[in-house]
Structure formats: structure tokens, C-alpha cells
Chains A and B, each alone.
Chain A
Amino acid sequence: MYSTYRPKERNWPAFANAKPLRLPMGEKLQNWLQSGTVFNVTLYLSAALFVALVLLVPLYLFIRTGTAWAKAVETLLRPATLQVLGNTVLLSVSVTLGATVLALPLAWLTTRTDLPGRRLWAVLHALPLVIPSYIYAFLFLSFLSPKGLLQQMLQRPFNIERLPPIYGFTGAFIVLTLISYPYIFLTVQAALRQMDWTLLEVAQTNGATKWQITRHVLLPYLWPSLTAGGLLVMLYTLRDFGAVSLLQFSTFTRVIYNRYQGFQLDEAATMASVLVLMTGIIMLFESRFRAETAALADEEICDSSRPRQMALGRGRWAALGFTSLVSFFALIMPVGILVYWLVRGLRHDLLNGMVGLVQQNSISLLELLAPAQLSVTTGLLTAVFAVLIAIPITILSVRHQSRWAKLLTTLSYGGYALPGIVVALAFVFAGINFLRPFYQTLPLLLAAYMVLFVPQAVSAGRGVLARLPVELEEVGYSLGGSRWAILRYVILPLIRPGLLAGGLLVFLTVMKELPATLLLSPLGSRTLPMLVWSNISEAFFARAAAPTLLLLLLSSVPLAWFSLRKG
């Protein structure tokens, strides 16, 4: 099967003067990463440096907890709090499953079929990621609450007085699923783009049914990306506050926020430690899943030179229906309401203007430019740094089976399930006490962003690298290439789709980040989500709509680039 691997035609300068290694016939190739070398030390060191940054957060939580742990434990052991913990687990598991069910077929349809307008759909299905969860939840309720827009539309024709309430688990589940499925969509899409079609053909010619192909070929192939994306969704659900607070479903993050609301920083810290612990447990489970897939992945091959599509035939209408339905709720409905808010506010301004009243809704577009520029700049910077940091961690987590590598990978996710405000306060603590010159400057903000976002880049990269056979690297090594050359000419080009997807994920989520930006950004700077929040919380709907729409517009540019990148 390896014969199907054809590297792109290029000069291989690093290999030009290499003498082939003579290997005794039949002897197993040595693992190119086995021995301790400068290369390995560099990998470990750079991962360890990042982990040190992440560990600032639990260290802060430990210090801040101080003597408050007793009261916090008492709160923790209340039946009500235990129920909230149960809610949290229930919600994060269901959202992960729900997001998978949406994202898998959508990723398939938009990359590997002749679905009409599939590239447009590919962009549309990633965009919900950019909508801040509090504003999405608000829009969702405007539409679907018992007396929302939908009910108002149905009232006349069908005489429906009231829709059933969607608060609680149902609403929180739907909202979080719809804003987080793009995590899986993007990571799986990256894998599908690289998939070797012959895998499926071989199965087909051997008489496998569609179900068997899906079950025994496609799913195992996609498993690393799926678990990587699923992990992100699960951890994101743990930390989300906006959606669960508007939809009135109590998860653990709400307990933490209630403590902040009462200015009990110490108790909040103890509660946040519970989330760190939960992250650890989830990571343990996930690494067991991964261990099983690593073995599977060795047998597969990638060949991106032959992208092919499956003809949907008549199924295309069902496919179109599915993809439109998801897009309607995840994107078109919220955008529609935003546009409606904007028009309504501007119309009211116009009327006010005629009678000489204040026109408070018209946001001058110029006012949005500086925040837009800051959002885009920090987004791009964070994406680039996060991908660079993610590379060594990705390689360690997939290629090294050592305890240390596992530990470093697990710890690198340590801050990811925490609400932004917890991570932000940890960096406030570190900045104000030990790094005064950097306090409330861009570098420290970026450092906090790294803790919050690098795991996304790692997950995306890992999903792709786990499917690459290690033999490719070993062949390079046995041909005498240095480890650096293998990194540069074998690994990086092959995991590029994963890294790009990771960078994109980071960019999109930084664009909407709020709590860390509020506390750590340079004084006086403003980003688009700040404008959105400031206006929506004070019920200035029209003024909240404009920056949200701009946020979506700006984010769709790199998304379009990503999804149109390959023919």
C-alpha cells in the first residue's frame, strides 16, 4: 500500500548529500525519535515552557483559595451543587454527541460530494463559531422563546398563542450544539481533504456495503480528528457562561460566576479548581481513546493528489435540506434578527431625526474601524503564535509514547475548560505582582490567549498527524535526513491542513473573546465583542447588531480562503 504515496515533485536539498543508511534486510526500522537528541530536547523544552505558562493558572487558584477551601467544600457538597455538577456532565456529553451528529455528515457533504454550492456551505458551517455565545443565545431566544418572533409569525395563520418554553436543558443543549459543532466540522474537514479515495474504492470492490465502509474505513480514518474536535467541544461546554445563563440551565460555570458576583474571589478559585480537575479526567479518557486509534492509523496512507467526489444523485435534495436546516438555525436566523434590529433602530432614528430628537442608534461605521482592526490584528497574531507553540506539542503527543510526553500534553489543556475570567485573573495576579512592565500590555494579553487557545491548534494538528504513518518519517530518517529536515520536509507539509484548521479555529475564537480581553488588554483599547457586549447588556439592540455583523463579515474572509484553498 505504501507505493501509493507520492511526495510532491521538489528538490530535497536536505537530502542532497545524504548517504543512504544501510539497513540489514528485514530489520525493523528504528523509531526516528527514539534517542535523546537536541531535536528531542527542543521538543520537550518548548512544550514544557508552554506548560509552565499554563500552570500559572492552577498555581494562582491554589494561592487564591487560601483559607476559603473549607467553605467552598461545604458549598460543593450541597445536594444542589452536586446536581449542578451532574447537569454539567450531562450537558457536555450531550453537546459533544449532538455536535458530532451534525458535523460529521456536514464535513463529508461539503468536502467529498457534489453537493450544490458545497464551498459556500463549507464557509457557512464554520461561521457560527464566531458568534459570541451570549449574543447567539439572546438571538435564539428572541426567535424561539414562548412569545418570540416565531410565535408572532405563527399567531395569525395558526392561532398559536404560545410556544412551549425552551429554557433549561433543551435550550442550552441546542444552543451550545449549534455554536460548537464547527469545532468538529473544521477538524474533520481537514482530515477529509487529505483522505485517500482508494481506501474507499478498495473496500467497495471487495463488496463492502456503504454502512460497512462507513463503520470500518471512514470512521476509523476520521477517529483522531473526531476525538480531537469532540474534546474541544466538551471542554468548551464546561466553560461557557453566556448560553447557560441566558437559557437558565445551571452548570458549574454558573456557580463560579455567582461567587464572582459576590466578590468571593477565594471561593471562586476553589470552584474553578474543580473544572481543572474535570479537564484532567476528560483528558485521561481521551488519551485512552487515542491510544487505540494510533495503532489503526499506522495502516493508512494519505494521498491528497487525487481529490474525488461522491455523486449524491437524488440524495442531493435531502442533503441540501439537512445542510440548509442546520445553517438556518446556526447562522441565517441569528443574522436575520441582527439585520432586523439594525434596520428597526435606524428607521426609528430616522423618525426621531425628523422631529429633531437624538439619533442614538446610528453607529458611525468609522467608530467600528479601530475595534475591528484590533480584533483582526490580535486574532492573526494569536493564531500564528498558537500554531507555532502547537507544533512541538502535537508531535510529542502523537509520536512520543513516554509518560512525560503524555503528561505535558494533558497539562497543556489545563486552562482550556476554565471560564475566561479565571484565566484572566491569574494573569492579572502574575502581571501585577511579578511582571509590572508587561501588565496590561499586548504581550501579556497574548500569553493569556495562548493558555486559552493553544489547545485548539494542538487538537487540529493532532487529528491529522495521528493518521500519518510514522514510516514516512522513518524512511526520511533512514535516507539520512536530519530530524530537522524531516520536520521541515515531511511532517510540516503533511500536517499543514491540520495546522491551518487549528490557526483558523484560534483566529475565529480570539475574534469573539471577551473576559480576558476586558481585563488584560492595553488601557483604552476596544475590540468588536466589547462593543457588542456593552450594547446588548444595556438593551441597545441596533447598536449591538452592527459590530456583530462586522465580526461575522471579517471572520468569513479567512474562512473563505481556507475552504476555497484547494480546487
Chain B
Amino acid sequence: MYDKKLKLTAVWLLFILAVAACSPAEPQTTEVTRIVEVAAENSPGRLVIYSGRADSLVQPIIDQFSAATGINVEVRYGSTSEMAGLLLEEGSNSPADIFYAQDPGGIGAVAEAGLFATLSDETLSRVPSRFASPDGNWVGVSGRARVIVYNTDEISDPATQLPNDLMGFTAPEWNGRIGWAPSNGSFQAMITGMRTIWGEEQTREWLNGIQANNPIVYSGNTPIVEAVGNGEVTVGLVNHYYLYRFLSDQGDTFAARNYFLPGGGPGSLIMVSGVGILNTAPNAANAQRFIEFLLSVPAQQYFSAQTFEYPVIEGVATVGQLPPLADLDTLAVDIPLSDLADLQGTQDILVELGIIE
């Protein structure tokens, strides 16, 4: 009995040792960093990013920045609301230099709390003014469009079978066929935009109309695209780029495609992920370099080609499957993105109408 126990303990210990031994040896890397630091005339120093965008999306581009500048970048990942909550709690004591948010709501909350420094005019002028905060404390990095994702088995010709704009989905024929995610940040940003474009009354009318069609509620964009792909619902209200992950994972047989509503309005809103520099940033100069890098051609090409998003600077092409931003621009109503930051009003309406708790 003891033999067995010993053996098992030994196996477990060996196992831990093996894991420990295989992991990258830390002393070596710190050694290298030290050498680099000593070698450099002016040490490139470090940069601390709080990222509300996932590791899988932005770490590759951060690695490129790190390699190009020698700056030691450390990132804390989480959801945008978690990272915003963290920043609000930390206040002026935050060790962070940069907040990189997935949606306008998250960055708006941190801006509202007065935690951001003002960006230079040069930085702000790189993007169209509607992709930056009018107060100049944050700037958009990559764009995504709100789209309708539809099941290709049920909808063969979206141009005739799908309505022209969002209001069309309140028609009774869509009863039980719509998937949405009312607790999702991007969805709530879209509703905030809707309130600006359509006004409160029409927004409520639309929300009530969709509610009356018994939409299936999902927790976010990914489950919606999955449900549209397998035919559980016919259409879903999502951001455009989730579909391409499914296609690259499962191939072109995945039975869903995006439809960019031709009728314009809040249904074809362009939103951005954004960055801002904390006004307490210990490494403000490096933070500035990072934002410049994000708005450079190589980084914008990365977002265009790898995450299937829209570049926010001139002169970078979108990938083949996407309609050019210019086409969408003619459709989308020109509203400043900072208007999308008022999440509170939107949430109050959603609670009042019994759509979220």
C-alpha cells in the first residue's frame, strides 16, 4: 500500500518538476533584458497595458511593438468592463499606462472619470475626427460594423429576403427567428447610437417590436453566430468580424454570412475599439509611442488582415470579403463615437422595458 502511495507521489512530483523544467527559464530572460537595458544608451523602459481586448486578438501586435522598440510591455487582459472597473477602483494610483478597450462604452466610462490624459493633436489627426473623442482623450484603433448575420440555408438571397433596415425586423414574419445579446457591450453601444439617430421614442418602439417577436437571448456575439450557423435562429444582430473566425475554424461550409444593411441608420453603425493614456501613466512617453505604432500602416494592416476589422487610417486596404469602409460611410449616419459612451441611459431603458435585469 505504501509502495503504491510512494510511487504515485513520486510520479506527481516528477510531473511538477517536468512542468517546471520545461517552462521558459526566467533568470535567462531577465538576464537578456538586463543586457539589453545596459546596452541601450537610453533604456527603452517598460509599458503597462490594461487590455479589454482578448489576448488572442492583440498580443501578436503587441509583440511586434515590443520587438521593434525594445520596450518591455506587460499586459493585463480581461473583459472591457472588468478592466474599466479595475481602473475606476485604482483611480490615480493605477500602475497602468494605457487602457485598450473593446468598445466605446468602456473607454467612455474611464474618460468620464477623468482618468485619461489629452492626446496630442498629431495623434488625433491621424484618424477621421468621428473615430476619436472630441475632448481628445482617446482615439479609435480599429473599426467594426454592426451587421446582420444570416443562415444561408434559410436565406438564399439576402437582398430580397432581408429587410433594408433594423426596423424591418419588427415585422411579424421574424417571430422567433432573431438572436440578440442585450447584455453585450457592443449591442448596448448600438442602442446608444440608435437613441441619437432615431430618438428615444423610436428606439423604444424598436426594442418593444423586437421583444414582441420573441427573440432568442444569447450572452454575446459568439453564441449568436454559432446559433445562426446551425440554424437555430435565422438572423442575429452582431459585430461583423466574429463570422470570419468561424469560417477560418470550420471552413466555408459554415452556413452563415454577414449582411450589411443597405438602409443605413443604427443598423450599419461603425464602432471602434479605442486606446487612451492614463493621466497618471508612469511611462507616458512609451505609451505615446505605442499609440503611434497602433495607428501606423503595419499595425493597421495587421487588424485588417488578421482580425478582419476595419483600419481607421487612410491608405490601408480592407480584406476582400468586406465592403470598403467608404461604402458603409455613405450609409452610416455620421455621429461622433463619443455619443456612444452614454451606456447608463441605454441600460436604464433596457431595464425599464424588461429586456435586461
Residues of chain A having any CB pair with chain B under 8 Å: 75, 78, 80-81, 84, 138, 141-142, 145-148, 152, 165, 167, 245-246, 248, 250, 254-255, 257-258, 260-265, 341, 344-345, 348, 351-352, 358, 360-361, 366, 369-370, 372-373, 376, 380, 421, 425, 428-429, 432-433, 436, 439-440, 515, 518-519, 523-524, 526, 530-531, 533-543, 557-558, 560-561, 564-567
Q: Are B19 and A369 in contact (CB under 8 A)?
A: yes
Q: Are A564 and B8 in contact (CB under 8 A)?
A: yes
Q: Which residue of B lies closest to A514 (CB)?
A: B78
List chain A residues, Cβ under 8 A from B223.
138, 141, 246
List chain A residues, Cβ under 8 A from B139.
none
List chain B residues, Cβ under 8 A from A561.
8-9, 12
Q: Are B4 and A564 in contact (CB under 8 A)?
A: yes
Q: From residue B213, how far is it (CB to closest CB) to chain A in Å?
A: 16
Show 9 A/B contacts (Cβ-Cβ < 8 Å), sorted by A: A80-B354, A152-B230, A262-B344, A262-B347, A351-B251, A519-B76, A523-B95, A536-B222, A564-B4
Pick from B12, B22, B217, B249: contact of A540, CB below 8 A.
B249
Pick from B76, B84, B231, B250: contact of A344, CB below 8 A.
B250
Contact of B16 with A by CB under 8 A: yes
- Stretch from B53-61, B120-128, B261-269, B324-332 contacting the other chain: B53-61
Chain B interface residue count, Cβ-Cβ cutoff 8 angstroms: 72
- CB contact list, B200-228 vs A, under 8 A: 216-223, 225-227
Contact of B334 with A by CB under 8 A: no
Q: Are B90 and A565 in contact (CB under 8 A)?
A: no
Given that A145-B230, A261-B183 are known contacts, is A429 also in contact with B9, CB under 8 Å in the complex? no
Contact of B68 with A by CB under 8 A: no
Q: Are A539 and B242 in contact (CB under 8 A)?
A: yes
List chain A residues, Cβ under 8 A from B306.
358, 360
List chain B residues, Cβ under 8 A from A440.
95
Q: Are A518 and B354 in contact (CB under 8 A)?
A: no
A142 to B219, CA, bound (A): 14
Residues of chain B having any CB pair with chain A under 8 Å: 1, 4-5, 8-9, 11-12, 15-16, 19-20, 22-24, 48, 54-57, 74-79, 81-82, 84-86, 88-91, 93-95, 105-106, 109, 183, 185, 188, 216-223, 225-227, 230-232, 242, 245-246, 248-251, 306, 343-344, 347, 351, 354, 356-357
Q: Are A519 and B74 in contact (CB under 8 A)?
A: no
Q: Which residue of B lies closest to A152 (CB)?
A: B230
Given that A246-B223, A518-B77, A535-B56 are known contacts, is A560 also in contact with B249, CB under 8 Å in the complex? no
List chain A residues, Cβ under 8 A from B78.
518-519
Q: Are B88 and A265 in contact (CB under 8 A)?
A: yes
Q: Are A519 and B82 in contact (CB under 8 A)?
A: yes
Q: Are B22 and A263 in contact (CB under 8 A)?
A: no
List chain B residues, Cβ under 8 A from A564.
4, 8
List chain B residues, Cβ under 8 A from A537.
54, 79, 220, 222
Q: Are A360 and B81 in contact (CB under 8 A)?
A: no
Q: Are B249 and A539 in contact (CB under 8 A)?
A: yes
List chain A residues, Cβ under 8 A from B91.
432
Q: Are A261 and B185 in contact (CB under 8 A)?
A: yes
A261 to B246, CA, bound (A): 26
Beyond the given pairs A78-B351, A373-B22, A565-B8, 15 more chain A to chain B contacts, judged by CB atoms under 8 angstroms and listed by A's residue number, are A81-B357, A84-B357, A141-B223, A250-B357, A254-B357, A262-B343, A263-B81, A428-B90, A436-B93, A519-B82, A523-B95, A539-B221, A561-B9, A564-B8, A567-B1
A560 to B15, CA, bound (A): 13
A553 to B153, CA, bound (A): 39
A290 to B85, CA, bound (A): 39
Q: From residue B191, how far is it (CB to closest CB) to chain A in Å?
A: 12
Pick from B5, B221, B226: contact of A565, CB below 8 A.
B5
Q: Are B23 and A370 in contact (CB under 8 A)?
A: yes
Q: From residue A534, how far is it (CB to closest CB) to chain B in Å?
A: 4
Q: Are B84 and A263 in contact (CB under 8 A)?
A: yes
A106 to B8, CA, bound (A): 24
Q: Are B230 and A258 in contact (CB under 8 A)?
A: no
Q: Which residue of B lies closest to A375 (CB)?
A: B19
Given that A376-B19, A432-B93, A530-B77 are known contacts, is A246 also in contact with B85, CB under 8 Å in the complex? no
List chain A residues, Cβ under 8 A from B24.
369-370
Q: Are A255 and B56 in contact (CB under 8 A)?
A: no
List chain B residues, Cβ under 8 A from A380.
16
Q: Are B81 and A518 in contact (CB under 8 A)?
A: no
